Structure 1
Amino acid sequence: MPNIQESYTYCENLVKSHYENFTIGSLFLPKHIKNHLYAIYSFCRNTDDIGDSLFENKIEKLNNLDILEAELHKCYKKGYMPKDPFMIALQDTINKFNINITPFLKLIEANRIDQTKFRYNNFKELENYCSKSANPVGHLVLNIFGYSDDLRKTLSDYTCTALQLTNFLQGIQNDYNLGRIYIPNEDMENFNCKEKDILNSNSNPNFIKLVRFQTNRAYDLFKKGEDLFPLITRRFRTDIKLFSIGGIKILDKIKSQGYDIINNPPKLNMKDKLEIIFKSIINK
C-alpha cells in the first residue's frame, strides 16, 4: 500500500495528465496546499472516468459509482485505511480540513444522472445539473483556502457553472458520441436547430447563433463570479482567478473562430496558458 506522499504524487501525476485547459495550483501556491487540490481533483477525475467509461454499460457504471460512494463513506470512519492512492490522499485532505461529505456525494450523483438523463428541457434543468457536476468543486477548493460561507460559495457557483457550460461547448461532439446533449432543448428550438447540426461540418447559421447565445450566457456568469476575487486573500486569489480567466480565454477562442465549434473545437496552447497565468498575476 502506498504511503501518504506517494499517494499525493500519484494524484499530482493524474491531474497533470488530464487537466489540459487549466493549471491546478499556481507557482505561488504552497506545495502542501497544491497536494490537497490534487487529491480533490483526482477524486473528480476518477468519478468522471467511471461515469464516462466506454467499456462498461449503464448498470456496471452505476454499480461502480455505488462502490466509490461506499468507499467515500468509509473514509469518514475513524480507523479506516483506504488502499487506492487517490483515496489515501483524499482521506488525509478530508481529515486535515474537516471537509463535509456533501460536495463529494453531489459529484457522484452528477455521474449517476449522466447514465439516465441525456437531454435537458431548459436552462433551469441544466443549471441544476451543474449544481452537482461543477459547483461542488468550487466549494471544495474554497474549503481548502479556508472559506465556507454562503456568499463566497454563491459567487463561486457562478464561475463553476460558467466553466461547465464552457466545457460543454468545448466537448460538444464527444458528449454527443456518449449520447448526451448539454444544450437545452428550449434553446435548440428557439434557434431552430436540430440534433444533427452537432455533427454537421457545414456551418449552419442558426447553429452558429445558438453557440453565440450559449457563449454569451457563460460570459455573463463569469462576470458575476468576478465579485469573488476581492473576497479571497491575496495568497490564494491568483489561483481562483486562473479558472475564470482560463474559461474566458476558451470563450474568446470560440468567438474569434466565428462560433464554429464543430470544425474548430477550442483548445488552449502553451502561449494561451502563459497569458492566463500572466493576467491572473498582474490583476491581483
Structure 2
Amino acid sequence: MPTLGHPAERDEARPMHAEAAQASPPLERLRARARHENFPVALRVLPPQYRRHLLTLYAFARMVDDIGDAALGDRLSLLDGVSAELDRVYAGTTGDDPLYRALAHTVSVCDLPRSELERLVEANRRDQVVHRYRTFDDLLGYCELSANPVGRLVLRVFDADSERRCLLSDRICSALQVLEHCQDVVEDAYAGRVYLPTADLERYGVAEDDLVAPVADTGVRAAVALQVQRAVRLLDEGAPLVNELRGAARLAVAGYVAGGRATARALADAGFDVLARTPRPRRSHVVVSWLASLGAGGAR
C-alpha cells in the first residue's frame, strides 16, 4: 500500500505538467482545456463575446490552480506574483502576457470586482497549508474561496448579478466543487490532500490509506455517496437561479447545473467507487440534463 502523499507516488499520479505552472501557459491552450471540463455544454451556443470572456476567466482560474497544485519551487511566492499581476490589471499597467491582457479586457468590459479574482488566489494559498477539512461545513468554507467566486464572476459577465442570485450561484458552485473533489479522491490523496471530511471518514471507518486502494471498499463508497447526496441537495437549492435568468445567462447557468447533475449520476452509476477509475459524465447525459434544466428552471 503506498503511503498517502508520498512524493514519488504523488509525481506519478499528477495529471498536469509542473513546468506549465511556472508561468502563465499560452492563453489559447488554457482556453482549449475548457472544452474537456465537466461543464462546457453551454459554451458552444453562447454569443462569441460572452464565450470569450468566460474562457478568459477559466484560463485565469486554471492557471492559478496549476500553480497551487503543480508548480515547482515556492508556490506561495508564485501566487504572490499572481496578486501582483492583478495589481497591474486593475491599475491599467498590464504587460505583454496574453492571459493578463485578455483578463484586463474582460475586467474592464464587465466591471469585474478584484475581490472575487483574489479569492481564487487565496484558495490556492490555503491549499499549501490546509490539507484536511474536519466537517462538511468546513469544506463549504473552502468552496467560498475556490468555487463560489467563479459563479459570481460569471453572473457579472452577463450583467445579471444580484445579492439573491449570487447566493443561489454559491450553492451551485459549491456543489460542483464537492462533486469534483469526489471525482479526484485519488489524485488529491497522492498530492497529500483529503477533501472528503475527516469526520465522515471516521464515521465509516475509512483510513486515509484506503483512499489509494485499487478499489473502493464499502466505507469509502459510503463517504463519497454522502458527499454526492449533499452536492445534489445544494444543486436543488441553487437551481431556481435558472428561472431568474434570461438569454445567454440562462443557457450558461443551466449548463452548469446540468453538468453537476450528470456528474452526480456518473458517480452513482459507478457505485461511488472513485478509486478504480474516475467517473466522468456522458456527454449525452449532460445534454439531456441541460435541456431538462432549461425546461424546468433547473428542477430535477
TM-score, with structure 2 as normaliser: 0.85
| Correspondence 1:218 to 2:231 | yes
Match of 2:251 in 1: 238
**2:33 is matched with which residue: 17, 27, 50?**
17
Aligned CA-pair RMSD = 1.8
Q: How does 1:238-277 map to 2 (within 5 A)?
A: 238-277=251-290
Query: How many residues get paired?
Result: 271
Distance in 2 between residues matched to 1:24 and 1:12, nearest whole Å: 19
Contact 2:60 2:99 in 1 (8 A): yes
Greater displacement, 232-241 / 63-72: 232-241
In 2 relative to 1, CA 34–77 (structure 1 residues): closer, same or farther, beyond 3 Å? same
Greater displacement, 261-270 / 214-223: 261-270
Encode CA deviations 1:69-111: one digit per residue, 9 max, x unaligned: 0011111114x13211111010001111111100011000000
Q: Displacement, 1:147?
A: 2.4
Contact 1:24 1:37 in 2 (8 A): no
Q: Displacement, 1:20?
A: 2.6
In 2 relative to 1, CA 271–147 (structure 1 residues): closer, same or farther, beyond 3 Å? closer
The alignment-based identity, stated in percent, is 31
Match of 1:162 in 2: 175
Match of 1:30 in 2: 47
Match of 1:70 in 2: 84
Distance in 2 between residues matched to 1:43 and 1:25, nearest whole Å: 19
Contact 2:94 2:100 in 1 (8 A): no
Distance in 2 between residues matched to 1:156 and 1:270, nearest whole Å: 23
**2:60 is matched with which residue: 43, 58, 78?**
43
Match of 2:103 in 1: 90
Distance in 2 between residues matched to 1:41 and 1:153, nearest whole Å: 18
Q: Displacement, 1:213?
A: 0.8
In 2 relative to 1, CA 82–276 (structure 1 residues): closer, same or farther, beyond 3 Å? farther
Match of 1:102 in 2: 115
Contact 1:238 1:280 in 2 (8 A): no
In 2 relative to 1, CA 271–149 (structure 1 residues): closer, same or farther, beyond 3 Å? closer
Contact 1:24 1:38 in 2 (8 A): no
Match of 2:208 in 1: 195
**1:138 is matched with which residue: 143, 151, 158?**
151
**1:120 is matched with which residue: 133, 147, 152?**
133
In 2 relative to 1, CA 12–237 (structure 1 residues): closer, same or farther, beyond 3 Å? farther
Q: Displacement, 1:283?
A: 4.8
Q: Which runs of 5+ in 2 are unaligned?
A: 1-25
Contact 2:85 2:94 in 1 (8 A): no
Match of 1:7 in 2: none
Contact 1:25 1:37 in 2 (8 A): no
Letter in 1 for 2:45: F
Q: Which runs of 5+ in 1 are unaligned?
A: 1-9
Letter in 1 for 2:139: L
Encode CA deviations 1:92-135: one digit per residue, 9 max, x unaligned: 01111111100011000000000011011112221111000000
SS of the residue aligned with 1:247?
Answer: helix
